[in-house]
Chains A and B, each alone.
Chain A
Amino acid sequence: MSTAPLSLKELSKKEVLFASGHRMCAGCGAPIVVKMVLLASDYPVVASNATGCLEVSSCISEYTSWKIPWIHNAFENAAATIAGAETMYRSLKKQGKIDREIKFIAFGGDGGSYDIGIQSLSGAMERGHDMLYICYDNGAYMNTGIQRSSATPIGADTTTCPVGDVIQGKPQPRKDLTKIMAAHGIPYVAQASPSHWQDLMKKVKKALEIKGPKFMNILAPCNRGWRSQTNDAILLSRLAVETCYWPLFEIENGVTRITVKPKEKRPLVDFLKPQGRFKHLFTPQNEALLKQAQEQIDQYWERLLKEEACFGSVGSQETEK
């Protein structure tokens, strides 16, 4: 299938398959991600959705935002559910009962992907279903009220690791789900951010052209949980990329490529400062914690650069403008 060029002019002609009128919070990153993902597809898509903000706000009673076939099963099984749908598709295709090309996408938040859904996700990836799993990562259980998840960054204030006299936010660093998915040896793994829409949509397009299991981890700012402004989802996701808190890279058939390299790597505090969940880190007593957070980011970025270098892949990466 010929893919439409990725220009705003061309994209503006396409139907948006995630209708407005849903009940996500003002300024939420998740629906922006969903719109971009669906807009990037040139194929009919069937989607599954883990329980969470996106699910609970997008299909209420007879009102649905989904202009594509969509199924919400439970919290931890978006991957197994779409795997079932994809398998039925293969069965009916083999029997000659269906002939059109359909793509299968699962959406899950970080809770449904990093934590409770990791078994279902890992199993689906290992079995090789022809599907794309999209984790929209807002770094906590935002739907139930900002409880910590294994995707919550170190030092973040959440309702279950609240900043107190003894504990200064989440004591542990984030789980690296993107690399865990890459360790499955699947053909395509990528990280993306809505601030870099072209990079995000290119990755979705590429993923949908590849047969087999694909995983994308996409940053989705949450102003309620991040304690930030309602108009800064794109700003914050851009700062996440520019500080290398959220590097944009892909691992295609085992080869790592950084797709967007910041011209100048900004200090992590630029990303943390606008967010109330990190407010306490800027007190003198938490200087060490802040330093530790920066060191972890630096180490990860250095390792990523080395991984890329080791494949000698400089490719067509963009430089942050």
Chain B
Amino acid sequence: MGKVVAVTGNEAVAEALRQVNPDVCAAYPITPQTDLMQRFTSFASNGKVKTEVILVESEHSAMSACVGAAAAGGRVVTATSSQGLLLMLEIVFIASGMRLPIVMPIVNRAVSAPINIHGDHSDAMAARDAGWIQLWSENAQEAYDNAIQAFRIAEHLDIRLPAMVCLDGFIISHSIERIEYLDDKTVSDFVGDFKTVNPLLDTDHPVSYGPLILTDYYMEYRKAHDEVMSRVSKVVLEVAEDFHKVSGRRYGLFEAYRLEDAEIALVVLNSAAGTSKDVIDAFRDKGIKVGLLKPRLMRPFPYNEIGEALKHLKAVCVLDRADAFGGSLGPLCIDIMSALYQYKERPIVMNKIYGLGGRDFMPSQAEYALNDLLETVKTGKVKTFKEYIGVRE
């Protein structure tokens, strides 16, 4: 067993990266990711990792260099937030199109305008359909554990796709929590040696990356990508099983909290799930059958598994820390509704947008959402399908 420490989310992820010890890291500073990369580059400066660090002049070049390094043949990492992710987005798509297993922690932050540096899921949601795997993390422990597992999942020979590990900016990245580290050997044994596939550096077997594919074969490439995505869930569960053996901590595609016999439930990502669980407990103490579902694998979204977990409920409130403008629902709500559409008998789904730009998610907001669900079940009428909560009127 590893040691118990009190660390911030950024510190925990930096420690995971030190233990994984990648070959190349290319990074550019952006709040709130800065502290993560400062810590990691300090490991490099002090010879604690073998990693060659490229301190690039933009996030666009960070992801571009990651693509070059990963195609060359080795384990590659970067991290970013908010505008940084948006700036590199063009190359984020290219990394997955080339099937390069780059791992990228995303310290979730709001996007401009107006400029705001605090925790919000708009950044990772904007990149959710870029062909990457996305693992979301409630706290520092999960961010640490997900970061380690992400390498195994991304590099799996049936998959070879890049992966993002999401954690909430400031709320998790800069708050100190008690977590448990694995020891270095356990982590390096767990991730294993990097297996190269068609490396550029094998000059005896030259390969061309990034060809032009027009109308004749482009669709086949896209279909192949889709098929690979469909294999991810299985690998995520296999890796989670192996991780349980070395850590004692269990992970799935999502976390179901007091959900089995629940009649109503909240669905929420990342740190707000922690606050919500306390409120769920308080409702349970009063004998009210409430539960919670927290997605972990956000991409590819496990529609069937999540649908099965939620279908028995009478009503569900999806809490989104991002909005999809244009009169539609929040991005998580859109996926939850899609997951439930296949059932004839399905719960009522409502959507509440909370915590944008780092606004605190308070227990009272979870209570409000649960009470709204209870009222909806009682009256059979939905007051409002989508609303902003914790907002000035």
Contacts and interface: CB of A to CB of B under 8 A. Distances in A.
Interface residues of B, number: 43
Interface residues of A, number: 48
A98 B56 CA distance: 25
Contact of A87 (B52, B73, B206): B52
25 contacts: A46-B201, A55-B210, A59-B210, A61-B211, A66-B208, A69-B203, A72-B209, A73-B64, A73-B91, A73-B209, A73-B210, A74-B91, A80-B64, A80-B68, A83-B56, A84-B54, A86-B68, A87-B26, A88-B72, A88-B76, A91-B51, A95-B23, A100-B203, A119-B58, A122-B57
A90 interface: yes
Contacts, number: 165
Interface string B56-75: 11101100111111111110
Given A81-B68, A85-B72, A91 B50 contact: yes
The main secondary structure of chain B at its interface with chain A is mixed
A73 B95 CA distance: 9
B68 A119 contact: no
B90 A74 contact: yes
B71 A77 contact: no
Given A45-B203, A73-B94, A98-B201, 11 more contacts: A67-B206, A68-B203, A68-B206, A70-B206, A73-B67, A73-B68, A74-B90, A77-B64, A84-B69, A124-B61, A127-B55
Given A82-B68, A88-B72, A127-B55, A120 B60 contact: yes
Interface in B191-244: 200-203, 206-214, 216-217
B24 interface: yes
Nearest to B23: A91
A71 B71 contact: yes
A120 B55 CA distance: 12
Contact of A127 (B54, B67, B76): B54
B206 A66 contact: yes
A212 to B, nearest CB: 15
A71 B200 contact: yes
B216 A77 contact: no
Nearest to B57: A123
The 7 tightest CB contacts between A and B, nearest first, are: A84-B68, A72-B210, A123-B57, A84-B65, A77-B64, A88-B72, A80-B64
Contacts of B54: 83-84, 87, 127
Interface in A92-127: 92, 94-95, 98, 100, 102, 119-120, 122-124, 126-127
